[in-house]
Amino acid sequence: MNAPTRSLFRPSVCPHDCPSACSLDVEVLPENRIGRVRGLAQQTYTNGVICAKVARYAERIHHPDRLTKPLLRSGPKGSGQFREIGWDEALDRTVEAFNAAEAKHGPETVWPYYYAGTMGLVMRDGIHRLRHVKRYSGFFDTICTNPAWTGFVAGTGRLAGVDPREMAHSDCIVIWGTNAVHTQVNVMDHAVRARKARGAKIIAVDVYMNETMRQADIALLVRPGTDGALACAIMHILLRDGLADRAYMANFTDFTPEFEAHLASRTPEWAEAICGVPADKIEAVARLLGATKASYFRLGYGFSRQRNGAVNMHAALSIPTMLGAWQHKGGGAFHSNSGTFGVSKRMIEGLDAFDPAVRMLDQSRIGDILTGDAAALKNGPPVTAMLIQNTNPVSIAPDQRKVIKGFAREDLFTVVHEQFMTETAEMADIVLPATMFMEHDDLYQGGGHTHLMLGPNLVEPPGECRSNHEVICALAKRLGAEHPGFAMSPREHIDWALRNGNRGSLEALEKDGFVDTDPPFERAHYLDGFGHRGGKFHFSPDWQKIPLKSDGLMGPWQDMPRFPDHWAAIETATPERPFRMVTAPARSFLNSTFTETPGSMKREIAPSLMIHPEDAAALGVGVGEAVIVSNARGDVELVVKLFDGVHRGVVIAEGIFPNKSHRRREGINVLTGSDPVAPRGGAAFHDNAVAIRKA
Ligand SMILES: Nc1nc2c(c(=O)[nH]1)N[C@H]1C(S)=C(S)[C@@H](COP(=O)(O)OP(=O)(O)OC[C@H]3O[C@@H](n4cnc5c(=O)[nH]c(N)nc54)[C@H](O)[C@@H]3O)O[C@H]1N2
Ligand SMILES: Nc1nc2c(c(=O)[nH]1)N[C@H]1C(S)=C(S)[C@@H](COP(=O)(O)OP(=O)(O)OC[C@H]3O[C@@H](n4cnc5c(=O)[nH]c(N)nc54)[C@H](O)[C@@H]3O)O[C@H]1N2
Ligand code: SF4
Ligand SMILES: [Mo]
């Protein structure tokens, strides 16, 4: 790394957990500082456009509150009292505690816990190498992607879709269950360009009139967890009115007369009663879709965070398939390209040391696991030691009361490697200071597009920060864990992963900072066959056999419908809990990240609840007043915002604010549940029946 003597722009990648994975153009200043951050224009998905929170990155990387020294707890658990120690002492103490725990309960008592705070493959996934070699408990990462990926792959057989840049050729762009303006700004950028250039119509489907819905030509406002009903009614009309592509379906799908008979009763009136979209509006949308060839369905994660989320994802995906939209440029569907990059993770993750006999523990059920639920522990030993990187479960995990109770256990030793003193770090025994993305080298793949990208080390880290890779390798050495991956540098790992995945080399990637891995048209559009055996799209999924990583079947999978349908597995409103609450992402935060930056806090202000004015009147509460929102899992106080862009009975709490910005230091996830979404697990963050009363 050469420190510049004058300011210059260098390519980089946004590392945050966001499908956009933007290529960045970062101004590197002398004296180890960064200046402006903008989108890289040459990478044609990013197209020079990034979100405001990352454009302000100088305030995060040069934040005065960054952790810069290892810390040892000096007061009671969770007191926030720590004293500075050296790295050797921190690592020695960690290894001592891990070995003592292992001696008492066996290696599965140690649970390395991580997530996608950085999406860099070396820094995010290296923790697996340590756990595989040491036979520590496995980590089944359900919290974000499982309901969505399962629903998509149930249909296509593969986690891949049509290049989002093809929106430039679309007649109609359907943005379903993602608030793209907040969570992936590039989707909106490409859609709006298509509207300007060729009059493409933008249709959005969501449960509240968010920014994306407001910018759409047609906004379909559904009740939470009812997208399956809307999708079925659209398909009912397509079949009824001769707008379905029957020749395509005969060639490329498992379409049967039985499926047609099933849809015959899924009328627009039936759907209206469930999802709340007027039947005539459903008719108009179906006619519009049927009249255009190139309809592009951009299916988000948001609507899958319901207990019937996998079914709803598959139902929405079935529409472009019935239209035969996949055959046309600018037509088809996209959810994630995460299954397409082919980079080899064998060395990074130490997969050669993987032992399937070691138990997997479910990320979403951390509360049950840490409070000793035998089933969640797979009837194995308790978890008594944890290493945590890139995630803040005390704030973001569901069933928060159990999570906090678990972390407060005196017999649990916790090491948290972090950039800031998060609420998880506050519960730790040892806190280690972590580098940020511009302070280490890493490789990134764009889940929401087609590029592999290099994020190089551009500046020196402050104080004594070390990268995840350095920490994993240093622990491995002290633990006596042996693997060639522990002796390699991040650059060597990147080169190995590329070469062994037939994706070129580090040298090639370094030239432009990215490579475009877009597959040929035929493959991206599944014209050479879908991913299932026999090459057909499945309208009737085999929910027990989805070709994705698995830790067995979870949730009420036996009750899943055979065809797309409204599956009433959600937490329905009851007289005691008459409201349905959605905990949608805030624009200026990224999960719990950016809650530490003044620029984002100034915009998001304080935890609130958006509530329909008539519901507020019935409850006798007004703007700015506090309400207690409760269910069987707990209660949280929020401040009322009146908002008429929801169905009555639906309330929205945007953003994961720090727990400490709420009464009793308990955040929004006190209300969300960790019971697994069928059939492969996941948390239904937007599926909550709640009661509301004046505080
Ligand atoms: N600014 C910002 N950006 C983010 C994040 C963030 O917290 N803030 N989080 C990042 C992460 S981890 C992820 S996984 C991605 C997710 O990104 P996307 O795939 O883009 O999905 P989201 O935008 O999370 O989807 C949220 C939307 O889903 C809607 N929704 C909830 N339930 C339903 C339903 O039943 N039906 C329908 N139709 N809509 C529903 C919500 O109202 C909300 O508008 O975003 C990433 N980007
Ligand atoms: N109520 C509610 N809760 C939700 C959601 C919701 O919509 N509503 N969304 C859920 C979803 S989809 C997700 S993915 C989860 C995400 O939740 P988290 O995994 O907590 O997500 P982040 O806030 O992205 O990242 C966590 C931490 O990683 C740290 N970090 C970043 N880079 C590095 C690094 O290189 N090294 C180390 N050691 N640390 C690093 C950051 O400082 C940050 O504190 O939240 C879930 N929780
Ligand atoms: S849109 Fe997402 S990937 Fe792009 S800069 Fe913002 S957070 Fe990063
Ligand atoms: Mo996520």
Q: What is the pLDDT of residues 321-368, one digit of tens each?
A: 999 999 999 999 999 999 999 999 999 999 999 999 999 999 999 999
Q: What CATH code is assigned to 579-694? A: 2.40.40.20
Report d(CA 176, CA 204) in Å as an integer.
6
Name the residue with the closest Cα to ligand 2, atom 9: 591
Name the residue with the closest Cα to ligand 2, atom 22: 117
| For the CA of 585, the nearest atom of ligand 2 | 7
pLDDT recorded at residue 494? 98
Q: Which ligand is nearest to the CA of 53?
A: 3
Q: Which of 174, 220, 301 to mutate to test the pocket of ligand 1 (most atoms within 8 A of CB)?
A: 301
Q: Which ligand is nearest to the CA of 115?
A: 2
Phi, psi dihedrals of residue 468, rounded to the nearest 5°: -55, -45
Q: Which of 14, 119, 206, 593 to mutate to test the pocket of ligand 1 (most atoms within 8 A of CB)?
A: 206
Q: Which of 22, 301, 590 to mutate to test the pocket of ligand 3 (most atoms within 8 A of CB)?
A: 22
Query: Does ligand 2 come within 6 angstroms of the Cβ of 390?
Result: yes
Contacts of 311 (CB under 8 A, 6+ apart): 151, 228, 560, 561, 564, 565, 567, 569
Q: Where are the domains of the chain?
A: 71-137+358-436+456-501, 163-337+532-540+551-559, 579-694
Domain 163-337+532-540+551-559 has CATH 3.40.228.10: yes
Q: Which of 13, 94, 124, 419 to mutate to test the pocket of ligand 2 (most atoms within 8 A of CB)?
A: 419
Q: Which ligand is nearest to the CA of 451?
A: 3
Whether residue 119 contacts residue 21, with contact meaning beta carbons closer than 8 Å, is answered with: yes
3.40.50.740, 3.40.190.10, 3.60.40.10, 3.20.20.210: which CATH number matches 71-137+358-436+456-501? Answer: 3.40.50.740
Report d(CA 434, CA 465) in Å as an integer.
5
| For the CA of 420, the nearest atom of ligand 2 | 42
Contacts of 15 (CB under 8 A, 6+ apart): 118, 119, 120, 123, 436, 437, 442, 444, 455
Q: What is the pLDDT of residues 64-94, one digit of tens each?
A: 999 999 999 999 999 999 999 999 999 999 9
pLDDT recorded at residue 2? 62
Query: Does ligand 1 come within 6 angstroms of the Cβ of 337?
Result: no
Distance (angstroms) between ligand 2 centre and the Cα of 440 equals 19
Report d(CA 443, CA 498) in Å as an integer.
9
Name the residue with the closest Cα to ligand 1, atom 13: 18
Provide the edge-to-edge strand list for the sheet that holds 442-445: 442-445, 451-455, 514-516
β-pair type (71-73, 430-433): antiparallel
| For the CA of 21, the nearest atom of ligand 3 | 3
Query: Does ligand 2 come within 6 angstroms of the Cβ of 94?
Result: no
Query: Does ligand 2 come within 6 angstroms of the Cβ of 422?
Result: yes
Tokens 């303006």, residue located: 181
Considering only CA atoms, give the Rg of the chain: 25
Report d(CA 159, CA 508) in Å as an integer.
26
pLDDT recorded at residue 663? 86
Distance set, CA 454 to CA 119, 121, 223, 481, 493 (Å): 12, 10, 41, 29, 12
Report d(CA 202, CA 210) in Å as an integer.
14
Query: Does ligand 2 come within 6 angstroms of the Cβ of 674?
Result: no
Query: Does ligand 3 come within 6 angstroms of the Cβ of 369?
Result: no
Query: Does ligand 1 come within 6 angstroms of the Cβ of 583?
Result: no
Query: Does ligand 2 come within 6 angstroms of the Cβ of 310?
Result: no
pLDDT recorded at residue 512? 86
Report d(CA 155, CA 318) in Å as an integer.
7
pLDDT recorded at residue 344? 98
Distance (angstroms) between ligand 1 centre and the Cα of 440 equals 29
Q: Which of 14, 47, 211, 336 to mutate to test the pocket of ligand 3 (most atoms within 8 A of CB)?
A: 14
Upstream peptide bond of 679 is cis (omega within 30 degrees of 0)? yes
Q: Which ligand is nearest to the CA of 586?
A: 1
Distance set, CA 304 to CA 150, 225, 227, 530, 542 (Å): 10, 8, 9, 22, 18
Distance (angstroms) between ligand 4 centre and the Cα of 144 equals 4
Query: Does ligand 3 come within 6 angstroms of the Cβ of 432?
Result: no
| For the CA of 118, the nearest atom of ligand 2 | 32
Report d(CA 269, CA 248) in Å as an integer.
28
Give me the residues of the chain with pLDDT under 70, please.
1-3
